[in-house]
């Protein structure tokens, strides 16, 4: 079973720039994470953008929607910053209803993978698994759980995704 992974940035891929002392994006860590997880699913990774999800515009979302629509694979994973993950999920759900035949799972991380104690590897294993078995639809995989796109919100006080 082949899964297409679209990378958009987010905390997942943030790094520490030692010359400026600030957080920044370079290349995605997805291939390294898949190697570490000894993942043997057939995946193809494509980086669409490398941005903080607070900087994501309608144009960015339109591009993500377009890429998901055009992907040959019926099962898709989108890595995304957690702050606006729900908004992007909604944009995807509106453009690609279940009848479109695509299972799209969005995931992210609260701590950058490049830091020692990230939740990213756990979330990646979780999201890839949900993406393999769930019926067409748009989902968020965070905190070991899977939510339908219109039944979830991020609690900004706790950083936890909650059903609603």
Which residues contact its own copies by CB under 8 A? Answer: 11, 16, 18-19, 21-23, 33-34, 36-41, 52, 83, 110-112, 114-119, 121-130, 132-134, 141-146, 156-157, 159-161
Regarding beta strands 2-9 and 75-79, do their DSSP bridges make them parallel or antiparallel, or are they unpaired? parallel
Regarding beta strands 42-51 and 22-25, do their DSSP bridges make them parallel or antiparallel, or are they unpaired? unpaired
Nearer to its own copies, 102 or 154 (CB): 154
Q: How far is the CB of 62 from its own copies (least distance, A)?
A: 24
State whether residue 17 is helix, strand or coil: strand
State whether residue 72 is helix, strand or coil: coil
Nearer to its own copies, 95 or 145 (CB): 145
CA torsion 143→127→54→155, rounded to 10°?
A: -20
Q: How far is the CB of 23 from its own copies (least distance, A)?
A: 7
Nearer to its own copies, 50 or 111 (CB): 111
Regarding beta strands 2-9 and 42-51, do their DSSP bridges make them parallel or antiparallel, or are they unpaired? parallel
Q: How far is the CB of 83 from its own copies (least distance, A)?
A: 7
Q: How far is the CB of 66 from its own copies (least distance, A)?
A: 27
136: Cβ contacts below 8 Å, ≥ 6 apart: 74, 98, 99, 100, 101, 102, 103
Nearer to its own copies, 39 or 90 (CB): 39
Q: How far is the CB of 110 from its own copies (least distance, A)?
A: 4
């Amino acid at each position: 079973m082949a899964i297409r992974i679209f990378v958009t940035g987010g905390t997942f891929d943030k790094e520490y720039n030692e010359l400026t002392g600030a957080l920044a994006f370079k290349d995605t860590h997805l291939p390294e994470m898949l190697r570490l997880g000894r993942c043997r699913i057939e995946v193809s990774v494509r980086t669409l953008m490398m941005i903080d999800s607070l900087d994501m515009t309608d144009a960015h979302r339109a591009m993500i929607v377009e890429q998901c629509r055009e992907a040959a694979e019926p099962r898709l994973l989108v890595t995304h910053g957690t702050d606006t993950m729900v908004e992007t999920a909604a944009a995807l759900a509106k453009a690609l209803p279940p009848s479109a035949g695509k299972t799209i799972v969005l995931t992210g991380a609260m701590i950058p993978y490049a830091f020692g104690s990230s939740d990213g590897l756990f979330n990646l294993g979780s999201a890839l698994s949900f993406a393999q078995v769930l019926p067409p639809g748009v989902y968020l995989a965070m905190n070991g759980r899977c939510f339908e796109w219109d039944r979830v919100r991020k609690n900004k006080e706790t950083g936890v995704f909650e059903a609603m």
